[in-house]
Chain A
Amino acid sequence: MKKWQELLISLTGITILYILISMLLKFGVLNNYNRGIMVLIGINIIAAASLNFATGILGQLALGHAGFMAIGAYSAAIFSKAVGDAGMPDVVVLIIALCIAGTMAAIFGIAIGIPALRLRGDYLGIVTLGFGEIIRISIYNIKAIGGARPVLGIPNLIGFTEIFFLVVIVLMALFLMIRSRHGRAILSIRENEIAAEAVGIPTTFYKIFGFATSAFFAGIAGGALAFNQRMIDPRKFTFMFSVEIFIIVVLGGMGSLTGTVVAAVVLGILNEWLHFIDQYRLVIYALLLVVMMIVRPSGLFGTREFSLVGLIKKVIRFTKSNKNVE
């Protein structure tokens, strides 16, 4: 199959999925409440995919993504409130705000990454966790952005359509990145840092680059969250929030972006079903993780990716081999 044919198949799949869900929403099979859940799932997908890029692809354990999301959320909120009455179309405000959110988070990602990425494994996890907390507590103490009081009156700019295409764009950008010389360099660091350096990969640069990319998309997820919730509160971006995102990554499989998508959807729906036993929800989460670690220690997908094109190729091959048997 040619490259453009593969692209066409993927785009068709995405369009069909979009039309299907829009139809379900339009004819009332899914109500507004479901719509809200889908937007939240979309935000979780972006956040978890960005964390997976740092943890599963680059191989550097990061536990402070709530901090980057907080930076993104505040940047987007402050920008949109500042230009609120300037009369720009909503989509333009949304795009600019998310770009600012991502860029601000990436700048912090670089600033934190340069010292922190000298560490490895658990140590890096602890340091990023610490930086995440530092960001949150700093926000508490900056009066100019509201301090401990929540920021209110953020315009609602994110609906189902916006989040759907945002998720598609973010995942596409990450996939394109992974399947290039830059992505191979990043993967080689995960696999064996010493060997990577020995074949000419500037590992320090790519570690910081990969970490900043991850922070960039986490910032976008934070911005989207701000527009969805219409208020942001520093209390939201605690360590537990980072852990929730981390659980999605672990469940889906470190190194598999499609696994992350599936895990985010499954956990999002599970979360709703479990509302009736509210306070025991986290117990079930924990049980789920324990069972998962016993049955499939590398997550739902491991490092494999689901691919529509790959599936179609398999079906074609299967039917062909069946014909040959006849």
Chain B
Amino acid sequence: MALLETNNLGITFGGLRAVGNFDISIGEHELVGLIGPNGAGKTTIFNLLTGVYLPTEGDILVDGKSVVGLKPYQIVTRGLSRTFQNIRLFKDLTVIDNVKIAFHQQMKYGIFNTLFRFPGTRFWKEEAEIDIKARELLKIFNMEESADKLSKNLPYGQQRKLEIARALATNPKLVLLDEPAAGMNPQETKELMDTIRFIREKFDVSILLIEHDMSLVMGICERIVVIDYGMIIAKGTPEEIKNNPKVIGAYLGA
């Protein structure tokens, strides 16, 4: 069974059909790219998958169960996690707190334990556990030394990495990356490719990514889905996509 499956997914804003007939199936451990010209509807699809928008047609299945109508925070518990095109960190909080916030759903202690912190209670146990987990996660991204810095003071590349680390902290099965290489130079993009490959192995997740940088998309994606005007125009391996006349037409305006 596919991890994520959409059937005939679509959304209409007023008279504008931003996405329509969107069918995709992502299996476990897959790395899929979603590309298309500006305004094609890529981020809209992410917003549909993560519950930000309510689809006007079609269905989204995660592990065979529909997630349509669930709130974004409920979809996170089903194993979908995302990053944003324009970085959305908790800027005035420390790096470690950024990660800890994402562990929220995995912690269970209540208000009583918060206010009455007797030694040996759940509060201390869970907080200590999460502190270790969060630091381990930062270590994987070589950011353990920045743990107590405010996240707005990080260099741009690290902010992107922190967003990915935060997405991974929710314990996802599928990570949605929205233009992870935006604003990066070729060297940073290369490092990012290694990171993406690495997290797929390390965390055993599937990845769906939107990207404009073709070297990255062609370099790491196993399958690519191309959309234009909200419709899928091509699906296939990087080789197939490169030579597809429809794709070339969409990008070059033929």
- List residues of A whose CB falls within 8 A of some B CB: 173, 176-177, 180-185, 187-188, 191-192, 194-203, 303
Contact = CB atoms under 8 A, between A and B. Distances in A.
B77 A200 contact: yes
A252 B175 CA distance: 41
29 contacts: A180-B109, A180-B114, A180-B127, A181-B107, A181-B127, A182-B114, A184-B100, A187-B97, A187-B101, A188-B90, A188-B101, A191-B91, A192-B90, A194-B52, A195-B90, A197-B72, A198-B72, A198-B81, A198-B88, A199-B81, A199-B102, A199-B104, A199-B166, A199-B169, A199-B170, A200-B76, A201-B73, A202-B71, A203-B73
A181 B92 contact: no
A197 B105 contact: no
Contacts of B52: 194
A187 B92 CA distance: 9
Given A197-B73, A202-B73, 16 more contacts: A177-B114, A181-B109, A181-B114, A182-B111, A187-B93, A191-B90, A194-B84, A195-B89, A196-B101, A198-B73, A198-B81, A199-B102, A199-B170, A200-B73, A200-B102, A201-B104
SS class, residues of chain B in contact with chain A: helix
Contacts of A176: 114-115, 117
Interface string B91-127: 1110001001111110101010011010000010011
A181 to B, nearest CB: 5
B40 interface: no
Most B C-beta atoms less than 10 A away, residue of A195, A198, A201, A202: A198
Contacts of A180: 109, 114, 123, 127
A188 B52 CA distance: 17
B224 interface: no
Contact of A200 (B105, B126, B127, B130): B105
Contacts of A194: 52, 84, 88
Contacts of B126: 181
B206 interface: no
Contacts of B105: 200
Interface in B38-97: 50, 52, 71-73, 76-77, 81-82, 84, 88-93, 97
A182 B117 CA distance: 14
A65 to B, nearest CB: 22
A247 B45 CA distance: 45
Interface residues of B, number: 37
Nearest to A177: B114
Nearest to A178: B114
A198 B117 CA distance: 29
Contacts of B102: 199-200
Interface in B119-158: 123, 126-127, 130
Contacts of B82: 198
Contacts of B232: none
A230 to B, nearest CB: 31
Most B C-beta atoms less than 10 A away, residue of A194, A199, A202: A199
Contacts of A195: 84, 88-90
Contact of A187 (B89, B90, B130, B166): B90
Contacts of B90: 187-188, 191-192, 195-196
B76 A199 contact: yes
B117 to A, nearest CB: 7
A250 to B, nearest CB: 17
A278 to B, nearest CB: 40
Contacts of B77: 200
B104 A185 contact: yes
A177 B117 CA distance: 11
